[in-house]
C-alpha cells in the first residue's frame, strides 16, 4: 500500500484556491501527541515549549531533548507552485493542536487556533 505525507490536489491554472489545514494531532483524550522520531536539537526546530535553542551545547542526538517531543507542530509547504511566502511555510510558521503559534504563523482568513488557511493563486 502506498501513502504520502499529505494530501495531493489537482489545480487548474489561473484558478486560485484556499486550503484550510488543521492540526488535530491529539490522542482520544485530546492530549497533544509526541513526535514518532526524536527532535534533533542540533538544528533550528519548531519550539512551542520555548526551550533554549543553543545548538552548540545540546543533548546528544539521538535521543535529543525529551522536552521537545510534544506537542507536535505542523507547517505546510507547496512543491511546484508559485505562491506568497505567507502560504509557503517556513521554520517559524508552525502551529499546534492546542493553538500555539510560531512567530511566522499566518492565515489568509481568520480560523481556529489549531488551523491555518493558505491561498494558492495557481498562476504558474
d(Cα 75, Cα 21) in Å, to the nearest integer? Answer: 9
Please give the model's pTM, rounded to 2 decimal places. Answer: 0.82
How do the pLDDT tens digits run along the chain, 124 residues long?
A: 555 566 677 889 999 999 999 999 999 999 888 888 878 777 788 889 888 877 776 566 666 677 788 899 999 888 778 888 888 888 899 999 999 999 999 999 999 999 999 999 999 8
Of residues 3, 32, 13, 18, the one with CA closest to residue 99 = 32
DSSP annotation of 68: G
Amino acid at each position: 500500500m502506498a501513502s504520502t505525507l499529505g494530501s495531493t490536489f489537482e489545480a487548474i491554472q489561473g484558478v486560485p484556491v484556499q486550503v484550510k489545514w488543521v492540526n488535530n494531532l491529539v490522542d482520544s483524550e485530546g492530549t497533544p501527541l509526541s513526535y514518532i522520531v526524536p527532535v534533533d536539537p542540533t538544528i533550528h526546530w519548531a519550539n512551542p515549549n520555548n526551550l533554549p535553542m543553543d545548538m552548540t551545547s545540546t543533548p546528544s542526538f539521538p535521543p535529543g531533548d525529551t522536552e521537545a517531543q510534544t506537542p507536535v507542530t505542523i507547517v505546510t509547504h507547496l512543491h511546484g507552485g508559485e505562491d506568497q511566502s505567507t502560504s509557503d511555510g517556513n521554520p517559524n510558521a508552525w502551529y499546534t493542536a492546542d493553538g500555539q503559534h510560531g512567530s511566522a504563523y499566518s492565515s489568509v482568513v481568520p480560523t481556529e487556533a489549531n488551523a491555518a488557511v493558505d491561498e494558492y493563486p495557481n498562476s504558474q
